[in-house]
Structure 1
Amino acid sequence: MGSPGMTEVLAATLLFLVFLYQVSHVFRYYAKFLVFTLLSLVSATVFIPLMLIRPRDYRNALYPAWGARQISKLLGIRFEMKGLENAVQDTGCVVVINHQSALDLLVLGEIWPKLQRCTVISKKEVLYLGPFGLATWLWGTIFIDRLNVERAQSTINSTADIVRNNRAKLCMFPEGTRNNGATLLPFKKGAFHVAISSQTPVQPVVVSRYYFLDDKKKIFDSGSVIITILPPIPTVGRTKDDVNALVAETRDAMIEVHTKTSEEVIGLLKTEKIS
């Protein structure tokens, strides 16, 4: 009997990997994040030729947003969106979203085509990440130099003009760091300064807890997520002296919905296990 050929070796390796995926939650955790990372890079860059037709246009991000939705399906993540009737229509706004994981990129893929005219702020170093940096520039990302405080502040100030004049929806994560806990972390004030400077509303968006994800235990299962768009909070007439009150009002509203929708997701999870 001869030695196994390359086809047999590849088939055996594939079967072994499938076996590991089924029986090891640690292997499944890293495998799914590898798929998420690689496919996110592909979906962000493969459409660059189409993006070049209209550089710096928010609509360019609709291509990778479509890709993100396909990635969600592949990973077994199901999204339900509520409160779309609350979306700001006629002006720009600052969209504040609770921040849980790198998987929040998939949340942006869901809300980007719904809210329209969305953009984000990113550190300028991202601009130099080859094709990915080019893609982020093509879909209108606002870059800031975090190492140069004076220049970064100037960019944030000019961002208020972009939000107001272009009716842009600036998506920001005010917690500033990832948090998949039972409640939200304290909010940083940058997003709210932009909202007040531009005199445009704050649009809170609440994402239920990722119960299917546990970074400490290395668990990444399938699961459901509820995205809720809350009524906009107006800033017309407010000044920088009102920032703390605006932060508190927004965070309190988001915490209430975060608790409610996270409990709802637990109910869905129990139903899925029973069925």
Structure 2
Amino acid sequence: MLALSIPTELWGGGILLLLVYLFNASHVFRYYTKFSVFIILSTISATIFIPIMLLRPRDYRNALMPAWGARQISRLLGLKWELRGLENIVQNSGCVILINHQSALDLLVLAELWPVMKRGTVIAKKEVFFLWPFGLACWLWGTIFIDRLNVEKAQSTINKTGETIRTRQAKLCMFPEGTRHSGQELLPFKKGAFHVAIASQTSIQPVVVSHYYFLDGERHIFNSGKSIISILPAISTERMTRDDLDRLMTQTHDVMSTAFTNLSEEVIQTADKKTN
């Protein structure tokens, strides 16, 4: 029995050594391995707490458990997040949180924000709900689903969301660029989030995340690294109407763009110093 088991153990050890070698030697292998780990563990983290979430459905506090799991994933992937601007968090009212959108890794940013923001929620396309069990978990922690193909229904949902922000002091997290990208500048903003903020007469809370210098999808690079998450001072929408929409969008984009450039330069310079 022992003699038969030795080759199997040798094979296992050999495969493990090969994987370790490929992880360290090939950035492509490392890229796909780390993203696979991220996806698998994120799914587990989001769904494993469903039995507990069922005790209080549609409660924002349900998201705190998956958020804890996501923070452990960050450590495993070698990612560090520095959270700044806690003194700027809107208190005693709802708001619309706007975050620049870079990658699926933004999920890990939300995991850092959820415990400090309180009453957080997000908007997702309705198709996500049917990706069970993940869709069920999303529903349990209060995700608002919209039908993007039905403009009238989507707008109606967004209007109701504005009411939720006011009455429940909810903090609605949205990505105003509308799509993720890894560029050096922010994309133009979509109008949806600003319509919600003006309709609900609640502040916009800009949150800027520095550039993911450690991640490059085109060259398949996913290294360890650090990013700065900065919560900026709130922008009031009090007494604003639709006529103020363009001005509000420009103001917010300018503030977030400046912060994105400055934070990205800072974090890259710090990384370069550690390398040299």
TM-score range, shorter chain: over 0.9
Contact 1:88-1:232 within 8 A present in 2 as well: yes
SS in 1 for 2:133: helix
1:140 aligned partner: 142
Q: CA deviation at 1:170?
A: 0.3
Paired with 1:165 and 1:198, the residues of 2 have a C-alpha distance of: 10
- For residue 233 of structure 1, what is the amino acid of its counterpart? I
1:183 aligned partner: 185
Paired with 1:272 and 1:112, the residues of 2 have a C-alpha distance of: 30
2:29 aligned partner: 27
SS in 2 for 1:5: helix
1:103 aligned partner: 105
Q: CA deviation at 1:99?
A: 0.3
SS in 1 for 2:33: helix
- For residue 94 of structure 2, what is the amino acid of its counterpart? G
Identity in percent: 63
Instruction: Find 1:252's aligned residue among 251, 254, 269.
Output: 254
2:176 aligned partner: 174
1:213 aligned partner: 215
Cα distance change of structure 1 residues 59 and 2 upon mapping to structure 2, 3 Å threshold: closer
Residues 50-61 of structure 1 correspond to what in structure 2 (within 5 A)? 50-61=52-63
Paired with 1:86 and 1:35, the residues of 2 have a C-alpha distance of: 34
RMSD of the alignment, in Å?
1.2
2:79 aligned partner: 77
Paired with 2:73 and 2:173, the residues of 1 have a C-alpha distance of: 21
Contact 1:224-1:268 within 8 A present in 2 as well: no
2:50 aligned partner: 48
SS in 2 for 1:171: strand
Q: CA deviation at 1:273?
A: 1.1
Q: CA deviation at 1:2?
A: 7.4
SS in 1 for 2:187: coil
Correspondence 1:17 to 2:19:
yes
2:121 aligned partner: 119
Number of aligned residues:
274
1:94 aligned partner: 96
1:229 aligned partner: 231
Paired with 1:268 and 1:34, the residues of 2 have a C-alpha distance of: 28
TM-score (norm 2): 0.97
Q: CA deviation at 1:4?
A: 5.9
Paired with 2:10 and 2:147, the residues of 1 have a C-alpha distance of: 53
Instruction: Find 2:156's aligned residue among 154, 157, 162.
Output: 154
Question: Which deviations, in whole Å up to 9, do the C-alpha atoms of 1:20-68 show, x marking residues without a partner?
Answer: 0000000000000000000000000001111111110000000011011
Question: Which deviations, in whole Å up to 9, do the C-alpha atoms of 1:245-268 show, x marking residues without a partner?
Answer: 111000100011111110110121
Correspondence 1:262 to 2:264:
yes
Q: CA deviation at 1:271?
A: 2.4
Paired with 1:119 and 1:183, the residues of 2 have a C-alpha distance of: 26
Paired with 1:35 and 1:3, the residues of 2 have a C-alpha distance of: 30
SS in 2 for 1:143: strand
2:206 aligned partner: 204
Cα distance change of structure 1 residues 3 and 237 upon mapping to structure 2, 3 Å threshold: closer
TM-score (norm 1): 0.97
Q: CA deviation at 1:3?
A: 9.4
Q: CA deviation at 1:205?
A: 0.2
Q: CA deviation at 1:5?
A: 2.7
Question: Which deviations, in whole Å up to 9, do the C-alpha atoms of 1:179-235 show, x marking residues without a partner?
Answer: 221110000010000000000000000000000000011000000100000000000
